Amino acid sequence: MKKLNSIRLVMPFLLAFGFSSCVVYSPHNADIPLLYERGQLQIDASASLSAPLLAVPAVNASVAYSPFNHVAVQGAASLSALNSIYAQGAVGTYFPFGNLVLECYAGYGYGYTNIDSIASTTASSGYRINGNYNLYYGQLNLGWAQLLDGYLDLGFGVKGGLLAPNWSRYKLSTDASNQVVAAHTDNHLLIEPQFMLRLGGQHLKFTFNLSYAYLRGWPNSNVYLNYERISAALGIHYKF
């Protein structure tokens, strides 16, 4: 009886892991830089967890630089525990109004996924999702930099764009004759609001980022992707 109760307790977590291992997209935690002058360079590194399917850990890094007044470039990359990688780059502009900063970016992102369902480690009927996606996006950021004599930054952002996937779902077998059972090539519209808080010294700060993703098939709204909706990150930020 004790063994049966233990199985009942563990089963929801196994099921959650099984479903989450087929997650193909998670919100990204690229930093909201809030650049306000020429020559400014910022780097950010963080660790994140995504939900609601499972707390999937990931590591993230981003860099932002202003080579000229009102000109900004930004790059970011992430690696998740589910063998998924993502990188993006963007160019944009910024307008400071005292401590208030408005930023606009246009960018491109590329992601790759190669993950197995939990069943594939214990049976011949598991699944693997393999493929990549392209993300064409724009982002609008609004926030306050250098508050409290430079010890606090606070920002909000909205990322929107088109996600173009090219994923295949394979049914795994013991004789290596894996068969494609589904293909995901329908475009999706993406809306991804973000929140950022930085607190610390004049140059080095601790960061908290929160992102939410909403995907909808376009033009075919009847298609659905299994994706994480929320991602929270803690990290460090340095401004040169």
In sequence order, which residues have a C-beta less than 8 Å from that of residue 93 and are 6 or more positions away?
70, 71, 72, 103, 104
d(CA 234, CA 57): 11
CB 91 within 8 A of CB 107: yes
More confident residue, 141 or 30: 141
Q: Average pLDDT over the chain, rounded to whole?
A: 83
User: What's 72's domain CATH number?
Assistant: 2.40.128.90
The arithmetic mean of pLDDT across residues 88-106, rounded, is: 97
Which run of H or of E encompasses 16? helix 2-20
How many independent structural domains does the chain possess? 1
d(CA 201, CA 128): 46
pLDDT per position as a tens digit, 16-54 = 333 334 567 888 888 899 999 999 999 999 999 988 765
More confident residue, 6 or 37: 37
Q: Sign of torsion, CA 85 91 96 100?
A: negative
Secondary structure E strands in the chain: 41-51, 56-68, 71-80, 84-97, 100-116, 127-146, 152-171, 179-184, 188-200, 204-212, 214-217, 230-239
pLDDT per position as a tens digit, 196-234 = 999 999 899 999 999 999 999 888 877 777 788 999 999
pLDDT band at 126 (very low <50, low <70, confident <90, very high): low
pLDDT of 240 > 80? The answer is yes
Q: Where are the alpha helices (DSSP H) in 134-204?
A: 147-150
57: preceding bond cis by omega (within 30 degrees): no
Q: Domain of 183?
A: 2-239
SS3 175: coil
Q: What pairs with residue 64 in β-bridges?
A: 42, 74
Query: pTM score, two decimals?
Result: 0.81
The arithmetic mean of pLDDT across residues 54-69, rounded, is: 90
Chain centroid to Cα 134, Å, comes to 13
More confident residue, 185 or 215: 215
**Length in residues, the chain:** 240
